[in-house]
Amino acid sequence: MNNNGFASYFQLSNVDWPKMWLATWETVWMTLVSIIVVAILGALLGLLLFETSNSKSAGARALNWIVAAFVNIFRSIPFIILIVLLLPATQAVMGTIIGPKAALPSLIISAAPFYARLVEIAFHEIDHGVVEAAQSMGATKGQIIFKVLLPESMPALVSGITVTAISLIGYTAMAGAIGAGGLGNLAYLDGFQASNNAVTLVATVIIVLVVFVCQFAGDIVVKRIDKR
Amino acid sequence: MIEFKDVSKTFDVKEGQVAAVRDVNLTIPDGKIYGIVGYSGAGKSTIIRMLNGLEFPTTGSVTINNTEISKLKGKALREQRLKIGMIFQHFNLLWSRTVFENVAFPLEIAKVPKAQRKEKVLRLIELVGLKGRENAYPSELSGGQKQRVGIARSLANDPEILLSDEATSALDPQTTDEVLDLLLDINKKLGLTVVVITHEMHVIRKICDQVAVLDAGEIVEQGPVLDVFKHPKQAITKRFVNQETSTSSQDDTTLAVSELLKKYPNGLIIKLGFHGDQAQLPIVSSVIRKFPDVDLSIIEGNIHQTTEGALGSLYIQVISDNQDSVKEVLSYLNTMRVETEVIEREQ
């Protein structure tokens, strides 16, 4: 097997396609599951940040400070370190530290705070007058959240999810390098360590395609729901 | 009936405390359009926002039909708010909803069943003249149309009171008049009380029955609109009235008058004020006929319609070699049912 020359990239016969599709599915699965959890968790945290940010009560301010600190700390930890840091916790929660499932806790914990910030910003961008109009009509807090804040910021929330999903795809590859499965894992083990450049190239192309599809789908949805 | 009793509001800011509203006492009768006029920062918004509990007084009480709004909290306040509609300078529509859905919004808040909502929303959209635009989004509407949606939305829960917070300030003059006509129409048709705050005297003149002038958080003058227009007492009220009653800018008239006074020291410049039927009397021609030795020239004049009739002013100059005739003209004018004011030369 020629594994040095440029031509080695195109020796597609060296690619184990079933394995490649399995890895692709693992990447997509990790991304999908974590993005769903991140969307919910991030929206909750973002809402908490938003609601407590302008509050006068000391309790709310303290809560805001705690949530903001949590968000800032987990947003600053480099992902590869976060995985290692969370290994014992992952073992305890998921019962394993290898495979796609084991990647979920660190993926979620790294992306949720990031998305929470995006959600908070999206809520702050809603014209305060609209919220006030709803208040003047006698809306409850819940009605304001579900009928004003969420629908009015939906395009920003969706584009935020797109951005978060794309960085999550990158993280899954990183997680793959230390045993989480997926295309990153395949490129590292079968591509790099077995000097099989064709596998690396194909894995790269598939990842790029997944990112493109994700961005494209996000853009289309935003365009459809944005009536401004 | 709406009652403000000794209402004051202070805001805490970094530099200490700012009094936004001071000792306001107001009574707003049912079914009337009540205007509160003042420059920005005078405290108008604070006052109107106390009516639906978006703001609370520091001292004093705000009462609507024997319910003290300033004491309500939580559910009781939300239920009271259902009975008070509000429209805004920047419309504050939900851009993610169509015209129909925007008007349905307050009904959803009030938990009105879906079947009833539809019929009501369509009726309101028709009332404000937007039939056929039900499925348009706010971004597809003009400013005037957006405010019509705002008005329809504010009426959805059959309010007893409609609050208008600078509702025409972002609109061009033509659209302003259309929206004002609609408000007047709604006041007549539905008999609800309308509280209007504005910095435009035009709005007051066109639709209000009564007016209060607000300056630095205090009400400096209040009364029926025509009275305030006819006899403004405070300097600030005069400024507001002039803003509306002089067609050219007031400065131009003042300048022209002082030039004429300099040029003809023995002439007399008189400002005549008319209202109601007086505006139709042939006063100028009767003066000319009665005093042949007097020259009379017209400097500036204008007329405006209010809800209670016409209101006009006319600047004339009376020149004569015989000073006695000039005095006689003045006393003759005083016997006519017209108000006179001699413009003195500036010292």
CB < 8 Å to B96, chain A:
151-152, 154, 225, 227
Residue B37's domain comprises 2-245
Residue B346: what pLDDT?
Answer: 55
Same domain for B273 and B235: no
Lowest mean pLDDT segment, chosen from A47-51, A82-86, A174-178, B26-30: A174-178
Helix (H) or strand (E) holding A139: none
Confidence check: pLDDT of A4 > 70:
no
Q: How many structural domains comprise chain A? A: 1
Record: contact A227-B95, CB cut-off 8 A: yes
Could you tell me if B156 and B125 are in contact, meaning their C-beta atoms sit under 8 angstroms apart? Answer: no
Parallel, antiparallel, or unpaired for β B2-13 and B16-28?
A: antiparallel
Same domain for B336 and B305: yes
Of B202, B223, B245, which residue sits at a domain end?
B245
Residue A111's domain comprises 6-225
CATH classification at residue A82 = 1.10.3720.10
CA distance B67 to B154: 21
Lowest mean pLDDT segment, chosen from A32-41, A155-164, B8-17, B182-191: B8-17
Same domain for B59 and B127: yes
Rounded to the nearest angstrom, the minimum Cα separation between B46 and chain A is 14
**A227 CB within 8 Å of a chain B CB:** yes
CATH classification at residue B123 = 3.40.50.300
Q: Give B151-177 pLDDT, tens digit per residue.
A: 999 999 999 999 999 999 988 988 999
Confidence check: pLDDT of B243 > 80:
no
Same domain for B207 and B312: no
Q: Which of residues 145-174 of A touch B (CB under 8 A)?
A: 147-148, 151-152, 154
CB < 8 Å to A135, chain B:
54, 81
Same domain for B166 and B77: yes
Same domain for B176 and B161: yes
Could you tell me if B225 and B205 are in contact, meaning their C-beta atoms sit under 8 angstroms apart? Answer: yes
Q: Give B252-307 pLDDT, tens digit per residue.
A: 777 777 788 788 877 788 888 887 777 677 888 888 888 888 888 888 887 877 77
Q: Which of residues 115-134 of A touch B (CB under 8 A)?
A: 127, 129-130, 132-134
Record: contact B78-A151, CB cut-off 8 A: no
Chain B residue whose CA is closest to A142 = B109
- Give the pLDDT mean for A7-23: 83
Same domain for B136 and B234: yes
Same domain for B27 and B58: yes
Same domain for B163 and B97: yes
Confidence check: pLDDT of A228 > 90:
no
Rounded to the nearest angstrom, the minimum Cα separation between A137 and chain B is 5
Record: contact A127-B78, CB cut-off 8 A: no
Write the DSSP symbol of residue B298.
E
CA distance B256 to B271: 13
Nearest CA among B289, B299, B281, B301 for reference residue B329? B289
Structure tokens at A52: 């407590």
Chain B residue whose CA is closest to A133 = B92
Residue B347: what pLDDT?
Answer: 40
Q: Which of residues 78-107 of A touch B (CB under 8 A)?
A: none
Nearest CA among A176, A50, A46 for reference residue A111? A46
Same domain for B155 and B58: yes
Q: Mean pLDDT in chain B?
A: 88
Structure tokens at B7: 């209402």
Q: What is the ipTM of this complex?
A: 0.83
Same domain for B329 and B288: yes
Same domain for B63 and B147: yes
Of B245, B265, B280, which residue sits at a domain end?
B245
Could you tell me if A184 and A169 are in contact, meaning their C-beta atoms sit under 8 angstroms apart? Answer: no
Establish if A1 belongs to a structural domain. Answer: no
Record: contact B109-A137, CB cut-off 8 A: yes
**What sign does the CA torsion over B112, B116, B122, B124 have?**
negative
Of B230, B245, B260, which residue sits at a domain end?
B245
CB < 8 Å to A127, chain B:
90, 92
Residue B265: what pLDDT?
Answer: 77
**B30 CB within 8 Å of a chain A CB:** no
Which of B54, B77, B101, B109 best probes binding to A when mutated, by most A CB atoms within 10 angstroms?
A: B109
CATH classification at residue B320 = 3.30.70.260
Could you tell me if B206 and B213 are in contact, meaning their C-beta atoms sit under 8 angstroms apart? Answer: no
Q: How many structural domains comprise chain B? A: 2
